[in-house]
Amino acid sequence: MFSILSGFFKNLFKSTEYIHQEEAFMKKILIVGLGNPGPQYKYTRHNIGFLVADRLAEKLKASFKTERYGDVAKANYRGKLFVILKPSTFMNLSGKAVRYWLEKEKIDKNNLMVITDDVNLDFGTIRIRPKGSDGGHNGLKNIQEILGTTQYPRLRFGIGNDYPKGGQVDYVLGKWTPEQMEHLPELIDKAVDALINFAQEGLQRTMNKFNKK
């Protein structure tokens, strides 16, 4: 009887310890919105990561400060510390900023979420993935090269692909249409909700909840 009770309490303590480890593991989150710095890029499709990061900071009542490799905002929300980064390295060198802030804040790459535009998704569609290829996106490509892995979470925000053959660069660096601008606020808020859910409930539950048409 004693051995049974001893085993029960031993497993209980192990379970409790695991829960505490998981809570500590997800206590600090790095959210990276990809984009290009400068007012001329603000409302281009390629900068949707910056717009989502701005809205997240606003919702969490955090302010950005210019730091090394980017503008950074920090906020405590429901027991989680959000570190929100908008790299100042330009899109093609985003990996340098991501690696620096992961190391500086001692955040595991599984607690990283990168927000990026995606021409392979319809406008406003959100897809959250734990890993994946760069899909031709220069920001993701550089992050992959610098981190040495494709296994890090990313939120892909669909910008559509309504452009002629050979016109992708002009399209992604072009500004949103008036109709798209009308719908952007609610779509950005949905992305922000997904980011907060990621911090609170983890990746899998967030994917199940937000990876819908």
**pLDDT (tens digit per residue) in 20-76:** 444 445 689 999 999 999 999 999 999 999 999 999 999 999 999 999 999 999 999
Which residue in the list 20, 46, 137, 183 is annotated as catalytic?
46
Residue 137: which H helix or E strand, with range? none
- Helix boundaries (H) for 61-158: 94-105, 138-147
Known catalytic residue: 46? yes
CATH topology for the 26-210 domain: Rossmann fold (3.40.50)
> Of 139, 146, 145, 150, nearest to 50 (Cα)?
139
pLDDT digits (tens, 9 = 90+) for 174-196: 999 999 999 999 999 999 999 99
Distance of CA 162 to the CA centre of its chain: 25
76 φ, ψ to 5°? -90, 130
Least trusted range by pLDDT, from 2-16, 78-92, 154-168, 177-191: 2-16
The C-alpha atoms of residue 211 and residue 213 are separated, in whole angstroms, by: 7
Inform me whether the pLDDT recorded for 99 exceeds 70. yes
Inform me whether the pLDDT recorded for 12 exceeds 90. no
| Confidence at residue 19, expressed as pLDDT on a 0 to 100 scale | 40
The C-alpha atoms of residue 52 and residue 184 are separated, in whole angstroms, by: 10
- Helix boundaries (H) for the chain: 2-25, 48-59, 94-105, 138-147, 168-172, 178-201, 203-210
